[in-house]
Amino acid sequence: MSTIHPSAIIEDGAKIGEGCEIGPFCIVGAEVVLGDRVVLKSHVVVTGDTEIGEDTVVFSFSVLGEIPQDLKFKGEKCRTVIGKRNRIREHVTVNAGTDGGGGVTRIGDDGLFMAGCHIAHDAQIGDRVIVVNSAAVAGHCILEDDVIIGGLSGIHQFVRIGRGAIIGAVTMVTNDVIPYGLVQASRGELDGLNLVGLKRRGVSRADITALRAAFQMLAQGEGTFSERARRLGDENDSAYVQEIVAFITGQSDRHFLTPGG
């Protein structure tokens, strides 16, 4: 049985799972689906065609599923899908998708979205992603699994950030970031690898050594960045290195942050 505070507004048609807790002055729209044991603290707005997975907790003054901040949006039918066991802290905003971006803004499982951060229309966010206070992820971005976005950072539209990468605080990222990359400085520079994250995940010493060598080759080898990546793929069989190679060579028409810029 769910617990709903008398001051909360649950519009007709909303689907509320078992064991949900909906606090004072929350608003849940008619097309919303809440999984089992979802908790909405107080003053939370969930609207539009929005689905929230089980055991997710949403803190006060967050707004989820509202229309996108996109002047091209003309009221088309679009969705917001948020996975399981996420922690969405105070004043977080997650906007619905647009026709031009695939129609769905999607967040995976087990994420932490700290106070005041923003996830824009059509963003695709993987599992175990952390977005720190007041960071902004623009429209159409892709954040793969285990990415960390530092506080007060901005991710430009259409940017991809590869699995396990970390973006330092107060960084503006305008180009794609390779898996496991470390990006910092006010105008984001690829400054190394996310070694702390790799060690925490139990990645073997041999793979970390291979990644370090791969980074040096990408930074200092001959030829263009894409050419160095292809050569790296031929010379190194580490699965982690191959993941970086596939990330780069699979999207050869895109711009990447490269070491030193």
Catalytic (active-site) positions:
121-122, 139
* Distances from the Cα of 114 to the Cα of 65, 109, 150, 246, 255, angstroms: 17, 15, 10, 31, 29
Locate the DSSP E strands across 120-180: 124-125, 130-131, 136-137, 142-143, 148-149, 154-155, 160-161, 166-167, 172-173
SS3 content of the chain, % helix, strand, coil (to 5): 20, 30, 55
Q: Are 69 and 140 in contact (CB under 8 A)?
A: no
For the sheet containing 21-22, what is the strand order? 3-4, 21-22, 39-40, 57-58, 87-88, 112-113, 130-131, 148-149, 166-167, 181-184, 189-193
Name the residue among 218, 250, 259 with its Cα closest to residue 236. 218
Residue 115 neighbours by CB distance under 10 Å:
17
Q: How far apart are CA 111 and CA 146, in angstroms?
A: 9
